[in-house]
Amino acid sequence: MSWKMLALKKSPWVFHVNTGACNNCDIEIVNCLTPKFDVERFGIKLVGSPRHADALLVTGAVTRQALPRLREVYLQIPKPCVVFVIGACACGTGIFHTGYHIEGPVDKVIREIDPEAIIAYVPGCPPKPEAIISGVLQALSIL
């Protein structure tokens, strides 16, 4: 394992992007950061810039307007980085599958610019904070 990956797993700083979610997944993510669930005990911290981040938390099916912005944010994150896809819409566009504004699930959009991207999925509508924490820690443990 490279020292970069070791450092990433020790304390993953995350940047949160909403690419067209209904805000429910975002509420659950914010819930993870509150004292009740307190993900900072795992070294997970929300940061304000993708350039400071080790991981990307994406919620929502990718809309046409969000498409270039999500790609731009992904390119600005120092590599290696992990993309956590949170919620049913982000994992597979969910009920918005046939929408005129939907450009596809998050993994497809990111793989188009980086086929080697590390992507982890947390399905659910919305996933419970326990599920998000469990998914993130399980993904980090197998890297």
β strands within 28-134, DSSP E: 45-46, 55-59, 62-63, 82-86, 102-104, 118-122
Compute the least distance from the CB of residue 19 to another protein, in Å. 12
Task: Identify whether 78 is preceded by a cis peptide bond (ω within 30 of 0).
Answer: no
Which is nearer to another protein, 3 or 100 (by Cβ)? 100
Which is nearer to another protein, 75 or 125 (by Cβ)? 75
Which is nearer to another protein, 59 or 63 (by Cβ)? 63
Whole-number Cα distances in Å, 140 to 46, 67, 91, 132: 16, 26, 18, 12
CA atoms 14, 16, 21, 23: torsion sign = positive
Compute the least distance from the CB of residue 113 to another protein, in Å. 7
Compute the least distance from the CB of residue 101 to another protein, in Å. 7
Which is nearer to another protein, 110 or 139 (by Cβ)? 110
Compute the least distance from the CB of residue 70 to another protein, in Å. 9
Q: How many residues in the chain?
A: 143
Question: Where does this chain bind another protein (CB under 8 A)?
Answer: 63-65, 67-69, 71-72, 75, 98, 100-101, 103, 113
The tokens for 111 are: 């793989």
